[in-house]
Amino acid sequence: MSRRVLPPWPYPRLVAHRGAGKLAPENTMAAFRLGASFGYRAFEFDVKLSSDGRSFLLHDATLERTTSGQGRADALTLGELAMLDAGSWHGPAFAGEGLPTLTGVLRYMQANRFAVNIEIKPTPGREYQTGAAVAIDARHLCADMQPLPLLSSFSEVALEAARQTEPTLPRAHLFDRLPSDWLARLERLDCVALDVNHRELTPEVIAQAHDAGFRVLCYTANDPERVQLLLRWGVDSVITDAVDLLDPDTSLSR
């Protein structure tokens, strides 16, 4: 395959996973503020749609694990979701923490000049609608944001919807396991980056991606030695939970 020019990569080397990893309730404002207090300037978070089609932050398809609600996350309106407690499950210090909207989070990120990686995490059956809605929100809310939000997803339907809706927003294809045709999949969806479980990476895979013109992002590497090895291999950014262990300015142990 012919060598292509790598796209610009304006994102920091270390990206805080779900806000502050496991130190605060994931995907909440408390988590972003805690991650920022550790010096992080780039955040990954998960977005899906309410029953009335509004973008909000939540990892799971259901509410039980991280909120006071029950059942499918897309069965409630944004107004109903706003009544839930998304902090108590983590600990009493976070009682009453709410589920953020994508709008609110992007306002905070923009005001603080933080970079974002929005993971489009649709509830089953709502892949296209979620990819399109998140792309529209990200484009409209981040018109002046530099760098542009990086959209990522495991769902090719969601990525395709984002590509069709807001083609100028950069996209990364998420994989837990690398399929044999991963390069063709990145090309078909016109992605800028491979975003893969760090356990799948080797120097050869990274070189193959770079030679084909794709950046490489990986998740969720938490051991400082492993993170440094991945960066030596040439990974462009690492998504980590270990915001307390890794200094985002040096990528070294604190």
Contact residues: ligand G3P, CB under 6 A = 17, 44, 46, 59, 119, 152, 174, 219-220, 239
How far is the C-alpha of 146 from the C-alpha of 152, rounded, in Å? Answer: 17
Can you give the C-alpha Rg of the chain in angstroms?
17
Q: Least separation, in Å, of the C-beta of 180 and Mg ion?
A: 24
Nearest CB to ligand G3P, comparing residues 80 and 114: 114
Q: Least separation, in Å, of the C-beta of 115 and ligand G3P?
A: 14
How far is the C-alpha of 9 from the C-alpha of 30, rounded, in Å? Answer: 28
Nearest CB to ligand G3P, comparing residues 208 and 220: 220
Say whether 90 is catalytic: no
Nearest CB to ligand G3P, comparing residues 18 and 139: 18
Q: Least separation, in Å, of the C-beta of 5 and ligand G3P?
A: 25
Cβ 18 vs Cβ 9: under 8 Å? no
Question: Length of the chain, please?
Answer: 254
Nearest CB to ligand G3P, comparing residues 22 and 211: 22
219 binds, among ligand G3P, Mg ion, none (CB under 5 to 8 A by kind): ligand G3P
Q: Using CB under 5 A as the criterion, what x/- string covers residues 103-122 for binding Mg ion?
A: ----------------x---
Beta-bridge mates of residue 153 = 173
Q: Least separation, in Å, of the C-beta of 60 and Mg ion?
A: 11
Say whether 17 is catalytic: yes
Cβ 42 vs Cβ 17: under 8 Å? no
CB atoms within 10 A of CB 157: 16
How far is the C-alpha of 212 from the C-alpha of 180, rounded, in Å? Answer: 15
* Residue 236 in the binding site for Mg ion (CB under 5 A): no
Which residues contact Mg ion (rule: CB under 5 A)? 46, 119
Q: Which residues are catalytic?
A: 17, 59
